[in-house]
Amino acid sequence: AQSVTQLDSHVSVSEGTPVLLRCNYSSSYSPSLFWYVQHPNKGLQLLLKYTSAATLVKGINGFEAEFKKSETSFHLTKPSAHMSDAAEYFCVVSERGKGNDMRFGAGTRLTVKP
Amino acid sequence: DAGITQSPRYKITETGRQVTLMCHQTWSHSYMFWYRQDLGHGLRLIYYSAAADITDKGEVPDGYVVSRSKTENFPLTLESATRSQTSVYFCASRNRLNQPQHFGDGTRLSIL
C-alpha cells in the first residue's frame, strides 16, 4: 500500500528566500503525486501534479517539484518566498487503478517572515 | 458557476441530532469524496463514491451515512451527532482515477 511522509511539520522562511518542503513516498506501483495548498478557512487547491511524464513539474505561483524515483521523493520548491505563500501544504500519493487510492501527508505549515 | 460547493459553511448543533452536509459539483465528475480534517490527524476519508448509486467506506465511516442518487450531489449525514464528530468536513470530486481531486471550501461543524 502506498504512503507519504512529509518530513517537516513546520517550515519558516524569510520573504524572498527559497522554499523547500520535503515529501517522501512509498508505492508498489508507478504513482501519481500531487502537492496541494490550503489557506486558512479554505479547501485544498492543487499546486501541481506528476503523472509519469516529465520528472520536473511546474505548478502555479512559481512552485515546482522534482520526482526522484531513486530517492522516492517529491520535494516542493520555490526560488523566492512571498508573504502570500504562508499556508499549509499537503503532499499526496495516488496509485493507479484504485478508487480509494489517494494518501495524504500530514501537512507542512509554511510561515513566511517579512 | 462551475465548481464544487458545500453547504452550510458553518453549523452548530447538539449531540444526538441528525445533521446533513451538502455537496454539489457542476463538472459531472464520476468520483466524489468526503473527508474530515482534524488537528493531529490530517485529512481522513469518510466515504467515497465512484458513480451514482455506488458508495464505499473510507478510513473513518462509523456514525456517517452517504447517498448518491444523482451524479452531482453527495450528501453526508450524521445520524446521531456526537462531540467527537466536531470537525471540518471537505467534499472533493474528480473525473477519473489517477487525476487530482478538486475540493470544496469545507463545512465547519461544531457539536455541543
The residue among B4, B10, B9, B7 whose CA lies nearest residue B24 is B4
Q: What is the pLDDT of residue B1?
A: 57
Query: In this structure, what C-alpha cell is assigned to residue B17?
Result: 441530532
Chain B positions in Cβ-Cβ contact with residue A105 (cut-off 8 Å): 42
Q: What is the pLDDT of residue A46?
A: 95
pLDDT at A97 over 80: no
B62 vs B70: CA distance, rounded Å: 23
Chain A positions in Cβ-Cβ contact with residue B31 (cut-off 8 Å): 99
**Are A74 and A25 contacting, i.e. CB atoms less than 8 angstroms apart?**
yes
Q: What is the pLDDT of residue A52?
A: 75
The residue among B71, B27, B78 whose CA lies nearest residue B53 is B71
pLDDT band of residue A98 (cuts 50, 70, 90) is low
Tens digits of residue pLDDT in B17-68: 999 999 999 999 999 999 999 987 788 999 999 999 999 999 899 999 999 9
Sign of the dihedral through C-alpha B67, B72, B75, B76: positive
Q: Which of B93, B98, B101 to mutate to test the interface with A (most CBs of A within 10 A)?
A: B98
Is B102 within 8 Å of A90 when comparing Cβ atoms? no
SS3 B89: strand
| Bridging pattern class, strands A10-14 and A108-113 | parallel
Sign of the dihedral through C-alpha A58, B31, A22, A112: positive
A77 vs A110: CA distance, rounded Å: 12
Q: What is the pLDDT of residue B2?
A: 65
Question: What's the whole-number mean pLDDT along residues A51-77?
Answer: 92
